[in-house]
Chains A and B, each alone.
Chain A
Amino acid sequence: MGIDLEDLKERAAAEIKSCVSLSSLEELRVRYAGKKSVLSAALRGMKDIPESERPAYGKKVNEIRDFLTAAIGEKERELKSSGKEERLKSEAADLTLPGKKKPVGALHPITRTYYEIRDIFVSMGFDVKDGPEVELDKYNFEMLNIPKDHPARDMQDTFYISEKVLLRTHTSPVQIRTMLREKPPIRMICPGRVYRSDDPDATHSPVFHQIEGLVVAEGISFAHLKSTLDLFLKELYGEETKTKFRPGHFPFTEPSAEVDATCAKCGGKGCGVCKGTGMIEVLGCGMVHPQVLRVCGIDPQIYSGFAFGMGLDRVTSIKYGITDIRLFFENDVRFLTQFR
């Protein structure tokens, strides 16, 4: 009568179910589903079974073999996937651990401010111009309508190299050089280092930074000046910024103005930075003096223009609430890396 098929099926199923490794599963496959398996033997031994029972028997054997093959396949997938899981699990990473950061340096805060300002003006069509820091007296003073005996020329304010050569006290000589070289229309800004003979303290530095601007074209008016600087200050400090133009005095502009903007620190409510006024002085400006245009070979009857200037160190101090400008030149990395 051969083997008990049902018993075989149950035993094999149980063995497959409890199998824990792929290698023992492979043994089970050989034993139950391979060519030399019990079931194959059973099929080969069908000749001993009465002919009438053979179809049913054969069907049964095949069914069991298919069942076991499927069970082994399933077990195999199960075992394989559980091994992967194990492996993946062993590779677990705790992402609450800190990342491996590369050191990232910082731009100097004055450079940062300069870039912001430059972007605004460049987008308004202003070219960037550069000029020497060691400058001729002629460009720094004389051609800017600052005559020989003007108080601003005192030895105590200006570093001199010789009678005719000095360390520029503002970036205005770059405006002169530009007007001498180029024909209107001119729209330019000139950033750079400037020098004043001041001992360093919280608000003074013998070296500091300015950015100035110049527009020369036909029909330029004070109303254009107001509009341009108002737009600039809103771009720099925010749309809500209000500006106030007050009469001022510079030898190279007429009329001249000082510009106050809403205090960036308190937003106009009044604080220590703005001394309670809600506004803070940020710019000096004015219509280019006709004499300055004339000495640069520009006919003031045809052209007019405006100029403005601001201290980058000051604008930066206001922006970040820095109260001692010596910090800009000490270069303490704890200071520098705050401006990343």
Chain B
Amino acid sequence: MIAPYKWLCDYVDIDVSPAELEKKLIMTGTQVEGIREPAEAFKDVAVGKIISIKKHPDADKLSVCQVDLGCETLQIVCGASNIFEGALVPAARIGAKLPSGITINKSKLRGVYSYGMLCSGAELGLSSSDYPGADADGILIISEDYAPGTPFSEVLGLSGAVLEIEVGANRPDCLSVIGIARECAAALGKDIKLPAVSFRECGGDISDYVKVRVSDPDLCERYCARAVTNVKIGPSPKWLRDRLNSAGVRAINNIVDITNFVMLETGQPMHAFDHADIRGGEIIVRRARENETITTLDGKVRALTSEMLLICDTQGPIGIAGIMGGENSGIKPETKTVIFESARFNQGNTRRASRALGLQTESAMRFSKGVDITGCKAALERALSLVEELGCGDVVSGEIDIVSAALPQRKICVSAPDINKKLGVSLKPEEMASLLRRAFIKTEARGDTLECEIPGFRGDISVMEDIAEEVARMHGYDNIPLTRMTGEIRRGVVPAQEKSLDKIRSLLTGLGYSECVTYSFASASDLDKLGLPRDDMRRDMLEIMNPLGEEQKYMRTSALPEMLKVIAGNLNRKNAGLMLFETGRVYLPSGSELPDERQYVCIAHYGDEALFELKGAVENLFDSFGIRKAKFEAGGPVYFHPYRKAAISAGQTVLGEIGEIHPDVRAAYGISGRLSAAVLDLRGLLDCADETVRFEPLPKFPSVQRDIALIVDSGVPAGSVLDCAAENAGSYLESVSLFDVYSGAQLGGGKKSLAFSVVLRAKDRTLTDEEANAARDRIVEAAGRLFGAKLRE
């Protein structure tokens, strides 16, 4: 909402600067976004009077003008042919920067100096709605009388500051200059002076001109109409054009300008129909029929739906209620009789219709946020008063006022002690009443009770808390004390799952991995790039009805695509040492209303040797969670290298997957060089976690160790051989650890040697060599049986 400072001063005796006013407004709850000086755009442009015009000695099309600018006379060379001696024109001085982007310099045109420029409407960025005749070719001729040297901004009515205000959804009354003026008055503790409304009626009766029938009262809560005849369409007087200009609205003609002015002033949108275009003499307010269309004032054909409300005559639509009038009923130069409409249309319905049609007019915006149902008639009368003031028509007697909705109950009683308790202050009831009266809520304090009369424009106030807020903002938020909360002393609880995330983050950063955060979206092509088969479960993704684009159409079911993009992005920037992780969620459709949001840890490690470093990090993670039974088994999803991947589980619980990204997948994401990744399921991790620390007394007896090297086929997984060793070592087993893998010519092709140490220890004695050898023999025997393993001599 744009609120010109000067306009506000019409209603409130503002005795502070715009900047000071801004501060006061902010502290009483009006969000001032900024203060502009629209006149700045025309700095260094003034009204110039052409004293003389001489032909340029060396150029047929140029003339040399002497221009009076009040304090000085400048020689300006001009190429336009519409200028004449005595004309008032906009003259730009040297240094001026015009809205069209032109900067004025001293120049020499065919040997004659020019000390400025006479401007056309286009050069000033103006059209005829800003100033009559501004669209015409040639220099803009100023039609009113101004003293030479007057700033040109005054011609446009652009003088003074303009406050830009963001109006909250709760305060649609502030979508009007009077609404803002009330806030100014409240902030400054001043009274408000509303414009006097008076007009004479010329007789007759509106029913002679038009009847109104509201067929859909649920969508048209109030409909007021008045007729004005003997209309003389013409331009509005300068003060009115200036007011509109200063609020950023273009002047059109007196009748239309009146409707716009009243809307800006009071917040009540108005419409004017040419009576001659109302066929059958009847206005019918009804829902559109399926497939009905209307051509709106802007010349566009609009397809309507049955939920949109229309203003119709007996033949068809003449306007979309509250949004835009029809082309067939607009005000024309020859319009003789006008029907003014001032209504309240259903808020939600207008909003939906406006959105559906893509028509966001000033009127639609106000109806969508809610207009004051009690204010329709007063606004209409203000328009009639202006008709009389402008002398542009005669007001026909009689009015139409169809009220379909209940007018709101406007008195509420609240308890002053409740308000004190809510705010943590101790104001006397009478103090509160006086603060509320400042906010235009007529209030009487009766004992501890406040009787508040809520004005119609404050539809946002209905309960004690609303009144409390009014008291608070008038009292000043600054004046509410700081009071410490009391209560049980306790430390807050961080949920176990989050604590685990903390631990994972701390461990992984310690191991050199940096944390990423990526979007939760995915596209079908992401999954194509992963090479997932058509029937893969991850293809079943939650679809967003209104996505930003194809790339963000779904909620991700895999952590990898975003991680791969991050790696690719970093490689593009030649970043080295890529070790990254993310703790995020995948969103798996679950059959119920909401998906299963599974938390994962995705770790990526770039480099040729990364796979086992990554596996080490994963094992570190398992260690820190006390997961001792994690199994890595060859296999896993298709996006991994077929021979460099493993599925990770513990018992029946799936922990995740690890592998090197398949070369095709890397290529699809533009990643050259090996990349390894692991994805762990947090829930699985927590299910298997055992973070209890158990103390074991230090051993009193020495251990015995047997180193065993077994030769097996190279396809035999080392993990299986080690498991076999552990299972067959007997009850004294302390550890099995691999220390060498060898494959070479001397073993023969297709063979490898696995060398590992088996450590045995008894708690109560020193084990004998025989016992250790027996364990070794059992291992060798079992491995021979299961894997065809032979002891390497």
- Bitwise, B504-536 to A at CB < 8 A (1) or not (0) is 010011111111111111000000000000000
Contact B510 A221 (CB under 8 A): no
Interface string of A101-144 (1 = CB under 8 A from B): 01111111011000100100111111111101111100000000
How many A-B contacts are there with CB distance less than 8 Å?
Answer: 247
A77 lies within 8 A of chain B by Cβ: no
Binds A, one of B143-151, B319-327, B593-601: B593-601
Interface flag for B642 (CB, 8 Å) = no
Asked if B469 lies at the interface with its beta carbon under 8 angstroms from chain A, I say yes
A297 at the binding interface (Cβ < 8 Å): no
Interface positions of B from 514 to 561, Cβ below 8 Å from A:
514-521, 542-548, 552, 555
Say whether A187 faces chain B, with CB atoms less than 8 Å apart: yes
Q: How far apart are the CA atoms of A86 and B413 in the complex, in Å?
A: 98
Is A254 interfacial (CB-CB < 8 Å)?
A: yes
B352, B544, B570: the one within 8 Å of A331 (CB): B570
The answer to whether B491 touches A247, judged by C-beta atoms less than 8 angstroms apart, is no
Is B481 in contact with chain A by the CB < 8 A criterion? yes
Q: Is the CB of B472 within 8 A of A255?
A: yes
Q: Nearest chain A CB to B365's CB is how many angstroms away?
A: 10
CB pair A221 B423 closer than 8 Å: yes
- A107 to chain B: closest CB distance in Å? 5
With contacts A130-B495, A223-B423 known, is A215 near B594, CB below 8 A? no
On whether the beta carbons of A128 and B509 are closer than 8 Å, the reply is: no
A167–B556 Cα gap in the complex (Å)?
A: 13
- Find out whether the CB atom of A246 lies under 8 angstroms from the CB atom of B29: yes
A247 touches B477 (CB 8 A): yes
Tell yes or no: B785 within 8 A of A by CB. no
Given contacts A223-B423, A331-B570, contact A127 B492 (CB under 8 A): yes
Q: Which residues of chain B come closer than 8 Å to A152, judged between CB atoms?
A: 169
B515–A106 CB distance below 8 A: yes
Residues on the B chain within 8 Å of A331, using CB: 516-518, 566, 569-570, 580
Cross-interface CB contact of A223 among B424, B511, B569, cutoff 8 Å: B424
Neighbouring A residues of B514 by C-beta, 8 Å: 105-106, 108, 333, 336-337
> Does A206 sit at the interface, judged by CB under 8 A?
yes
B 141-178 binary contact with A (CB < 8 Å = 1; else 0): 00000000000000000000000000011110000000
By a CB distance below 8 angstroms, the chain A residues around B169 are 150-152, 249, 251
Does B60 count as interface, using CB distance less than 8 angstroms? no
Complex-state Cα separation, A207 to B562, whole angstroms: 14
Residues of A within 8 A of B488 (CB): 125, 185
In the bound complex, do residue A160 and residue B545 qualify as a contact, i.e. CB atoms below 8 Å apart? yes
Q: Which of B170, B355, B423, B492 has the most CB of A within 10 A?
A: B492
Q: Does A328 contact B (CB under 8 A)?
A: yes
Q: Are B517 and A108 in contact (CB under 8 A)?
A: yes
Per the bound structure, the CA–CA distance linking A130 and B573 in Å amounts to 36
In the complex, per-residue mask of A70-98: 1 if CB is within 8 Å of any chain B CB, else 0: 00000000000000000000000000000
Residue A9 at the chain B interface, CB threshold 8 Å: no
Cβ contacts under 8 Å, A249 to chain B = 29, 168-171
Contact B463 A290 (CB under 8 A): yes
Q: How far is the CB of A305 from chain B (nearest CB, A)?
A: 11
CB distance from A184 to the nearest CB of B (A): 10
**Is residue A193 within 8 Å, beta carbon to beta carbon, of the partner chain?**
yes
Determine which of A148, A149, A330, A337 lies in contact with B569 in the assembled complex, contact meaning CB atoms within 8 Å.
Answer: A330
Tell me which residues from 41 to 85 in chain A have a Cβ below 8 Å from any Cβ of chain B: none
What are some 29 contacts across the A-B interface (CB < 8 A)? A102-B512, A104-B509, A105-B511, A115-B502, A122-B491, A125-B491, A127-B492, A129-B495, A133-B597, A134-B595, A155-B546, A159-B544, A160-B545, A161-B542, A206-B521, A206-B552, A222-B424, A226-B477, A227-B482, A245-B477, A245-B478, A246-B29, A249-B29, A251-B170, A255-B423, A287-B465, A304-B422, A332-B575, A333-B577
* Given A224-B424, A249-B170, A336-B580, 18 other A-B residues pairs in contact with their CB atoms under 8 A: A121-B492, A123-B491, A126-B492, A149-B347, A149-B348, A151-B169, A160-B544, A161-B555, A164-B593, A206-B521, A221-B483, A222-B425, A223-B425, A223-B482, A224-B483, A246-B477, A254-B469, A328-B517
